């Protein structure tokens, strides 16, 4: 009998545990607070900048985050310092999930997603793949010669470079904004002589790669805008509750603000009847704003 009772009790506890688990999964998540919304918005804005094509290169059929100049380095450092002050969005895995969801929402396929976001790691602090190779940025240059196989000779001032994969970059045709990584030297025939020059890989983004990054950056901007709207709603609700707490006969301006909250549905559900009740009360208490509002409606003021 004791064994039977224990078995039944165990099954009952198991069922209760399952029901609790199901109930927990079915419960809506707690609404983010003001600070969390503000930090999530800032984080999305940071990623919108980070995933701008201006911060990326393409090397050996893979994309890498790579700073091009001191201004970008300072911008990145500024973003890092701001994120270091977070008090709500401090969990790295939570940040990773936010980034992954926004990239997936951009609509780029899984192959691109894997190139743009590293797998989550407890040890690696980076979200983006990086390449530890010096980058040569050439704002403008002269195309001396196109070579077989997509290579080229270009001239920057008095220097001549052999560039592999020339023509893949979106700006190559305009001979501007070349992004190069040195691969060694190259000897080529120049008439009846041979010449040896520095050889570089062209790591400029193709039109497709640039379009993908623009799409992802736009997804982060869109998510930041949504969070901004949620934050504004949160702030409106807090302002409404503050007005409601202070709306007394001795504070006609707060009564007027409370009335406008009800009438406009700002920070609360729209309620015209209740709004007009408070507007009349505010006018009676001496609010000039409330009296002007009622006169505009053609109503008698107290």
Token pair listed for 41:
């918005």
Are 221 and 254 contained in the same domain? no
Are 72 and 218 contained in the same domain? yes
Flag whether 17 is in a domain: no
The answer to whether residue 69 scores a pLDDT higher than 90 is: yes
Flag whether 14 is in a domain: no
Average the pLDDT over 205-227 and give the result: 97
Model pTM score? 0.75
* CATH of residue 192: 2.40.50
How sure is the predictor about 301, in pLDDT bands with cuts at 50, 70 and 90?
low
Flag whether 36 is in a domain: yes
Give per-residue pLDDT as tens, 77-121: 999 999 999 999 999 999 999 999 999 999 999 999 999 999 999
Are 54 and 117 contained in the same domain? yes
Flag whether 147 is in a domain: yes
The answer to whether residue 242 scores a pLDDT higher than 50 is: yes
Give the total number of structural domains in the chain: 3
How far, in Å, CA of 296 to CA of 90, rounded?
A: 50
Flag whether 263 is in a domain: yes
How far does CA 238 lie from the centroid of its chain? 26
Which residue's entry shows tokens 């640039």?
210
Are 57 and 190 contained in the same domain? no
Residues contacting 42, CB < 8 A, separation 6+: 82, 83
Work out the number of other CB atoms within 10 angstroms of the CB of residue 20: 10
Give per-residue pLDDT as tens, 259-286: 888 888 888 888 889 888 888 888 888 8
Give per-residue pLDDT as tens, 123-155: 888 899 999 999 999 999 999 999 888 899 999
Are 36 and 115 contained in the same domain? yes
119 DSSP 8-state letter:
P
The answer to whether residue 202 scores a pLDDT higher than 90 is: yes
Are 42 and 67 contained in the same domain? yes
How far, in Å, CA of 302 to CA of 299, rounded?
A: 10
Are 119 and 143 contained in the same domain? no
Flag whether 12 is in a domain: no
User: How far does the chain reach from its first CA to its final CA, in angstroms?
Assistant: 80
Are 257 and 301 contained in the same domain? yes
Are 99 and 170 contained in the same domain? no
How far, in Å, CA of 109 to CA of 216, rounded?
A: 11
Flag whether 155 is in a domain: yes
Average the pLDDT over 8-32 and give the result: 39
Average the pLDDT over 230-242 and give the result: 86
Flag whether 26 is in a domain: no
Q: In residues, how long is the chain?
A: 302
- Mean pLDDT, the chain, as a whole number? 86
Domain of 175? 136-202
How far, in Å, CA of 120 to CA of 286, rounded?
A: 61
Are 43 and 179 contained in the same domain? no
Are 294 and 280 contained in the same domain? yes
Q: What percent of the chain has pLDDT over 70?
A: 88
H or E, element range at 256: helix 252-264
Are 222 and 284 contained in the same domain? no
């Amino acid at each position: 009998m004791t064994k039977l009772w224990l078995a039944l009790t165990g099954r009952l506890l198991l069922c209760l545990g399952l029901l609790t688990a199901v109930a927990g999964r079915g419960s809506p998540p707690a609404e983010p607070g003001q600070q969390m919304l503000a930090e999530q918005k800032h984080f999305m804005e940071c990623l919108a900048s980070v995933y701008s094509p201006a911060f990326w290169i393409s090397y050996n059929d893979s994309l890498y985050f790579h700073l091009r100049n001191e201004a970008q380095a300072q911008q990145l450092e500024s973003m890092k310092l701001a994120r270091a002050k977070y008090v709500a969005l401090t969990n790295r895995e939570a940040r990773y999930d936010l980034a992954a969801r926004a990239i997936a929402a951009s609509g780029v396929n899984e192959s691109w997603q894997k190139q743009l976001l590293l797998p989550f790691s407890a040890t690696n602090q980076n979200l983006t793949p990086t390449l530890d190779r010096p980058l040569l940025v050439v704002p403008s240059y002269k195309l001396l010669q196109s070579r077989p196989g997509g290579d080229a000779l270009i001239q920057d001032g008095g220097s001549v470079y052999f560039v592999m994969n020339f023509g893949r970059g979106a700006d190559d045709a305009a001979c501007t904004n070349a992004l190069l990584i040195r691969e060694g030297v190259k000897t080529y025939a120049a008439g009846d002589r041979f010449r040896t020059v520095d050889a570089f890989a062209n790591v400029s983004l193709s039109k497709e790669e640039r379009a993908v990054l623009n799409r992802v950056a736009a997804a982060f901007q869109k998510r930041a805008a949504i969070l901004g709207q949620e934050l504004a709603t949160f702030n409106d609700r807090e302002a409404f509750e503050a007005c409601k707490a202070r709306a007394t006969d001795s504070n006609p301006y707060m009564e007027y603000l409370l009335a406008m909250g009800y009438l406009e549905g700002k920070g609360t559900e729209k309620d015209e009847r209740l709004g007009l009740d408070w507007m009349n009360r505010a006018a009676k208490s001496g609010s000039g704003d409330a009296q002007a509002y009622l006169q505009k409606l053609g109503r008698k003021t107290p």
